[in-house]
Amino acid sequence: MSLETHDSEQEHIASAISDEVVIELNKVNKWYGEFHVLKDIDLTVYKGERIVICGPSGSGKSTLIRCINRLEEHQQGDILVNGVTMDTNLKNIDAIRRDVGMVFQSFNLFPHLTVLENCTLAPIWVKNTPKAEAEQVAMQLLERVKIPEQASKYPGQLSGGQQQRVAIARSLAMNPTIMLFDEPTSALDPEMISEVLDVMVGLAESGMTMLVVTHEMGFAKRVADRVIFMDQGEIVEQNTPDEFFTNPKSDRTKLFLSQILAH
C-alpha cells in the first residue's frame, strides 16, 4: 500500500548531509539473557543524514535505535553520540538524552497532563527554561505539526494521528540534534498515517538528522539518504533508496522486498 499512496512522482528531497559524524556504533553486540539480539553492528551517521531502517520483526532494528539513547544497554562495543561515549556514567547518558529525541510506536504521551504541558515539561524541568518561554516554544511547535488548537486538551481526547504529532512536537521541544523514530505510524489507521508522515517529511526538509524504523517504503524512497536492511541482529545491506529498491544485492533483501512491495 505504501508505494501507491505516496506518489513515486514526488521528488526525493534535497540532501543536507555534512561531514560531521553524530552517531557512531563500533562492533556493538547485545544479548537479552542468552539470546544474541545485535551482532557486530557497525554504523556511522553523519549530521543531516536521514536513515530508514527496515527489516522483519525480531531483527533488532528497534533494539538498535533504543541503544542509541540508552533505553537498552549494550554489552559489547562502543556507541558515541555527538562525541560523548555511551557508558554507565549517568552524566553522559543525560547529556546524550538531551540531544536525542525519540518518538514511540505507542505515542507514550503523559495522560494526566494537557498537550501543552506534555510539550513544556522537559524544557521546564530538564533545561530550567522559564514557563512562559517554554509555552511559547511549545505553541510554535504545535503550529508546526498543525494542531495548535488542541493545546489545552488531554491526550485521551485526541485521535491517534494527532497524538503522534503531539509526541513529535514534544520531542522537538528539547531542540534535539538527532531524532529517533520507532515505527511511528505502525499503530495508526491508514488515513492518519499521511498526516504524520507529512510532519516527518517537513522535519527532514529542515535538515534534522533522523533514524526511522518503519515499514513505509514510500517514505523511504522520498526522504531517506540511506536505507538499512536488518535481519537476525545484523545489518544485511545498506544503500541509497534508488539502489536499494532497484538493485538489492543480498538474497535476503530480495525476499524481503518481494514480500513488502507485493501489495
Partner 1 sequence: MADTTQEDAVFRPKPSLPPPPNTVGVIGWLRKNLFGGPFDTILTLLGGALIAYVAYSLYEYAIANAVWEADTYRGCLDHVLPNGEKVGHEGACWAGVATWFDSYIYGRYPDTERWRVNLGAIVLAVWLAPFWFPKVKAKILVGMSAVLTFPFLAAHLFLGGEPGLFLQAMVAIALTAFATVWLNVLASYMGYQSLRVALLRLSGFENKGDHLHKYVLLAACAVGFVIAFIYQSTWTLESVPTLNWGGLFLTLVISGIGISSALPSGIILALGRRSKMPVIRVFCTAFIELFRSVPLITILFMAVTMMPLFLPEAINPDKLVLVIVAVCIFAAAYMAEIVRGGLQAINKGQYEAAQAMGLSYWKMMTLIIMPQALKLMIPNIVGSFIGLLKDTTLVSIIGLYDILLMAKASGQDSKWLGMHTEPFLFTAAMFFVICFCMSKYSQHLERTIGGGYGRR
Chain residues that interact with partner 1, rule: CB under 8 A: 69-71, 94, 97-98, 100-102, 104, 106, 108-112, 121-122, 125-126, 154, 156, 170-171, 174
Q: How far is the CB of 99 from partner 1 (least distance, A)?
A: 9
Give the nearer residue to partner 1 in terms of CB position, either 184 or 241: 184
Check if the beta carbon of residue 109 is closer than 8 Å to that of residue 162.
Answer: no
**DSSP track, 60-83:** SHHHHHHHHTTSS--SEEEEEETT
Give the nearer residue to partner 1 in terms of CB position, either 32 or 110: 110
Q: How far is the CB of 120 from partner 1 (least distance, A)?
A: 11
Give the nearer residue to partner 1 in terms of CB position, either 213 or 236: 213
Q: Where are the beta strands (DSSP E) in the chain?
A: 21-32, 35-46, 50-54, 76-81, 84-85, 100-103, 178-182, 209-213, 226-231, 234-239
The closest of 21, 36, 22, 23 to 76, measured between CA atoms, is: 36
The closest of 62, 46, 92 to 230, measured between CA atoms, is: 62
Beta-bridge partner residues of 6: none
Q: How far is the CB of 106 from partner 1 (least distance, A)?
A: 5
Q: What is the arrangement of strands in the sheet containing 100-103, beginning at the earlier edge strand? A: 100-103, 178-182, 209-213, 50-54, 226-231, 234-239
**Which ranges of 32-151 would DSSP assign to H, the alpha helix?**
61-68, 90-99, 115-126, 131-144
Give the nearer residue to partner 1 in terms of CB position, either 65 or 227: 65
Q: Residue 125: CB partners within 8 Å, gap ≥ 6? A: none
Give the nearer residue to partner 1 in terms of CB position, either 213 or 235: 213
Q: How far is the CB of 98 from partner 1 (least distance, A)?
A: 5
Cβ neighbour number for residue 255 with a 10 Å cutoff: 13
Q: How far is the CB of 113 from partner 1 (least distance, A)?
A: 8
Per the structure block, which three cell numbers stand in for 255? 525476499
Q: How far is the CB of 234 from partner 1 (least distance, A)?
A: 25
Give the nearer residue to partner 1 in terms of CB position, either 175 or 259: 175
Give the nearer residue to partner 1 in terms of CB position, either 1 or 126: 126
Q: How far is the CB of 54 from partner 1 (least distance, A)?
A: 22
CA separation for the pair 45, 21 (Å, rounded): 6
